[in-house]
């Protein structure tokens, strides 16, 4: 560092030391101290819970959890909507209790999702099947 | 250094007393550090009209958060960094910090009017240069050049390394010298 630079540095530090000194001297410290004490008395301390929840990191984590829960709920609703209501009950019960119409309705509901698995039977049209054939078809689909 | 240690010890006693509910301990901490804080804030661009409010707000924030002060640096250094954040928030609220009249500090100085005018001009340029600096560079520069702190102390207060603090300071000095030329 040459002499010019040293002088410049010294001048800069000197100027920095002077900066704001006038304003600071004019500050009424005693009045400020009393005002701070009064404000501390008036405004109760922030509770730990309040402080924790004000932290950005906690807010981000909370937002992420809410988003995940929301996405989970929406997914669940969508999946439920896609399962035909007719499918839920009959497959869990005994098929012998169903009438021909109920069996046709149930197989009709199954037609879309399982179309690729049993194309022959479903392509032929359900109207032509009797009760026994419908039961057999449903059992096949069940297994 | 021993003086700094005794200051730190006295501050620690007052902080403990405040944490125990002693309001007068808080008032005493204000008396000990308010002027240094005001000088720091004024140099960083705080308008004199708002200086008292900014000083008060800094102390309020510091006293509320004093549980997080672990003595990693001096209480005053920690307070100054809180002051820097208070000023930054205030500047955001008011869009920009108003510029303090440049001759405020000069009126009280005696001496040759020409020299006073030259010094005033340099001071004005320094102020403008400081306002243009990034927040971190400005804080490091003021803590080092105005408050006379060591890099280790500055780094501890700002949560950075002494090396990084040194780099910030040198960048700040380089840019401020350009503004003074």
pLDDT in tens, B126-179: 888 998 999 999 999 999 999 999 999 999 999 999 999 999 999 999 999 888
Q: Does A13 touch chain B (CB under 8 A)?
A: yes
Distance separating alpha carbons of residues A48 and A51, to the nearest angstrom:
5
Query: Which residues of B are less than 8 Å from A54 in CB distance?
Result: none
Q: Are residues B137 and B176 in the same domain?
A: yes
CATH code where residue B144 lies: 1.10.10.10
Q: Are residues B85 and B27 in the same domain?
A: yes
Residue whose C-alpha is closest to residue A42's, from B64, B52, B12: B64
Q: Are residues B124 and B90 in the same domain?
A: no
Total domain count for chain B? 2
Across residues B56-72, what is the average pLDDT?
A: 92
Distance separating alpha carbons of residues B54 and B106, to the nearest angstrom:
23
Look at residue B97 in the predicted model and tell me its pLDDT: 47
Look at residue A12 in the predicted model and tell me its pLDDT: 87
Comparison of pLDDT for B67 and A104, the residue scoring more: B67
Comparison of pLDDT for A77 and B170, the residue scoring more: B170
Are residues A33 and B126, on separate chains, in Cβ contact within 8 Å?
no
Q: Are residues B36 and B76 in the same domain?
A: yes
Q: Which residue has the tokens 């301390």?
A: A45
pLDDT at A122 over 80: no
Q: Are residues B40 and B76 in the same domain?
A: yes
Q: Are residues B94 and B75 in the same domain?
A: yes
pLDDT band at residue B103 under the 50/70/90 scheme: very low
**Nearest by CB: B108 against A22, A34, A36:** A22
Look at residue B41 in the predicted model and tell me its pLDDT: 95
Q: Which of B99, B129, B148 is the last residue of a domain?
A: B99
Comparison of pLDDT for B140 and B7, the residue scoring more: B140
pLDDT band at residue A93 under the 50/70/90 scheme: low
pLDDT at A125 over 70: no
Rg of chain A, C-alpha, whole Å:
39
Give residue-wise pLDDT tens across range B12-62.
999 999 999 999 999 999 999 999 999 999 999 899 999 999 999 999 999
Q: Are residues B64 and B134 in the same domain?
A: no
The share of chain B scoring above pLDDT 70, in percent, equals 83
Look at residue B101 in the predicted model and tell me its pLDDT: 46
The share of chain A scoring above pLDDT 70, in percent, equals 65
Q: Are residues B64 and B14 in the same domain?
A: yes
CA atoms A57, A62, A63, A64: torsion sign: positive
Distance separating alpha carbons of residues B112 and B116, to the nearest angstrom:
6
Q: Are residues B70 and B37 in the same domain?
A: yes
Distance separating alpha carbons of residues A60 and A65, to the nearest angstrom:
9
**Nearest by CB: A29 against B35, B106, B119:** B35
Interface test with B, best of A15, A45, A46, A51 (most B CBs within 10 A): A15
Q: Are residues B3 and B68 in the same domain?
A: yes
Task: Provide the chain A residues 43-62 that lie in CB contact (below 8 A) with chain B.
Answer: 43, 45-46
Check if the beta carbon of residue A24 is closer than 8 Å to that of residue B39. yes
Q: Which of B57, B74, B99 is the last residue of a domain?
A: B99
Q: Which of B99, B134, B164 is the last residue of a domain?
A: B99
Q: Are residues B58 and B126 in the same domain?
A: no
Whole-number average pLDDT of chain B: 86
**How many CB atoms are closer than 10 A to CB A26?**
14
pLDDT at A96 over 80: no
pLDDT at A134 over 70: yes
Comparison of pLDDT for B4 and A88, the residue scoring more: B4
Look at residue A131 in the predicted model and tell me its pLDDT: 81
Residue whose C-alpha is closest to residue B141's, from B174, B169, B99: B169
Are residues B38 and A46, on separate chains, in Cβ contact within 8 Å?
no
Domain that holds residue B169: 108-181
CATH code where residue B59 lies: 1.10.1740.10
Look at residue B107 in the predicted model and tell me its pLDDT: 45
Q: Are residues B90 and B27 in the same domain?
A: yes
């Amino acid at each position: 560092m040459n002499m010019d630079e040293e002088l410049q540095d010294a001048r800069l530090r000197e100027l920095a030391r002077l900066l704001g000194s006038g304003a600071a001297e004019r500050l009424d410290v005693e009045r400020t101290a009393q005002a701070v004490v009064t404000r501390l008395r008036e405004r109760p301390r922030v509770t730990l819970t309040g402080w924790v929840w004000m932290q950005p990191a906690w807010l981000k984590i909370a937002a992420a959890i809410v988003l995940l829960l929301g996405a989970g709920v929406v997914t669940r609703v969508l999946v439920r909507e896609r399962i035909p209501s007719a499918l839920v009950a009959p497959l869990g019960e005994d098929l012998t209790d169903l009438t021909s119409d109920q069996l046709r309705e149930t197989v009709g509901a199954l037609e879309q999702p399982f179309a690729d698995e049993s194309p022959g039977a479903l392509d032929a049209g359900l109207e032509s099947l009797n009760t026994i054939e419908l039961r057999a078809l449903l059992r096949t689909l069940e297994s | 250094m021993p003086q700094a240690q005794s200051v730190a010890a006295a501050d620690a006693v007052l902080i403990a007393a405040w944490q125990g509910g002693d309001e007068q301990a808080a008032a005493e901490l204000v008396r000990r550090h308010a002027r240094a804080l005001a000088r720091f804030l004024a140099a960083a661009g705080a308008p004199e009209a708002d200086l008292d409010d900014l000083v008060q707000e800094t102390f309020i924030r510091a006293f509320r958060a004093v549980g997080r002060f672990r003595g990693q640096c001096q209480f005053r250094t920690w307070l100054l960094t809180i002051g820097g954040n208070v000023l930054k928030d205030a500047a955001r609220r008011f869009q920009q910090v108003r510029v303090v009249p440049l001759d405020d500090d000069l009126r009280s100085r005696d001496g040759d009017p020409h020299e006073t005018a030259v010094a005033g001009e340099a001071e004005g340029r320094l102020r403008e240069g400081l306002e243009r600096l990034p927040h971190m560079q400005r804080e490091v520069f003021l803590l080092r050049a105005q408050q006379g702190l060591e890099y280790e102390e500055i780094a501890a207060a700002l949560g950075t390394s002494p090396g990084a603090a040194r780099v910030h300071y040198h960048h700040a000095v380089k840019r401020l010298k350009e503004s003074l030329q």
